[in-house]
Amino acid sequence: MNDCKDDFSDEVPSSVTVVQLTVPINEKTEEGKFLKHEKVTKLMSFLDTVANEADGDLQFASSSSLHPASSEPFCTDLLLDATTSKSSSVSAASNVFVDIKSKMIALKSQLNDKNKTIQLLQQNLEHSKNKQKDIEKALEASYEQKLQNQKKEFEHSIHRNLSFVDRLLKDKEKLSLQCDGA
């Protein structure tokens, strides 16, 4: 591992070591195989080292969050530089999380609104059904009353007709007796 002091000297803190790969990406070895696996391994070990150093710096910063001489928050350039790459990925992930969270909140709000709407519609439907039943009962009672009145009227009419028929029969008998006796 070599310290990189070229173009990155003001971007990379002095405590972070940068691995420079000396083999070009597609250079073949004597066996004719590409060295991609070896490069990937070196790159992954470098990233692990940087991550471990950044975690160590973060733990150090969190354990001594205040400078001993003052009550001001204590931040070093090393901490800021080591966490810059992590913070950019964290901020991207945080942005995605915030977007998803806001969408979830909006969806929950819509769901609650729709559930309230459904509940109100169900209540209105139940109220309408009850009103319909009341109207049906009132109409049934009204028609039953009309039917009873009509029945009484027909019975009265039948009784009157029967009494008229009885009177006619009596009158016929009287007339036939008068005709026979004369």
Is-contact 12 28, C-beta < 8 A? no
Higher-confidence residue of 143 and 8: namely: 143
- To the question of pTM greater than 0.85 for the whole model, the response is no
Higher-confidence residue of 181 and 144: namely: 144
HSE of 124 in the Cβ direction (CA atoms, 13 Å)? 6
Confidence category of residue 14, pLDDT binned at 50, 70, 90: very low
Interval 84-98 mean pLDDT: 72
Burial class for 32, CB neighbours closer than 10 Å (0-12, 13-18, 19+): exposed
Confidence category of residue 91, pLDDT binned at 50, 70, 90: confident
Range of the domain at 158: 76-181
Can you give the pLDDT at residue 78?
47
Can you give the pLDDT at residue 50?
77
- Domain boundary (26, 54, 75) is at 75
Judgement on whether residues 108 and 146 belong to the same structural domain of the protein: yes
Whole-angstrom Cα distance, residue 23 to residue 35? Answer: 8
Is-contact 29 43, C-beta < 8 A? no
Can you give the pLDDT at residue 95?
82
- Domain boundary (21, 54, 75) is at 75
Judgement on whether residues 137 and 177 belong to the same structural domain of the protein: yes
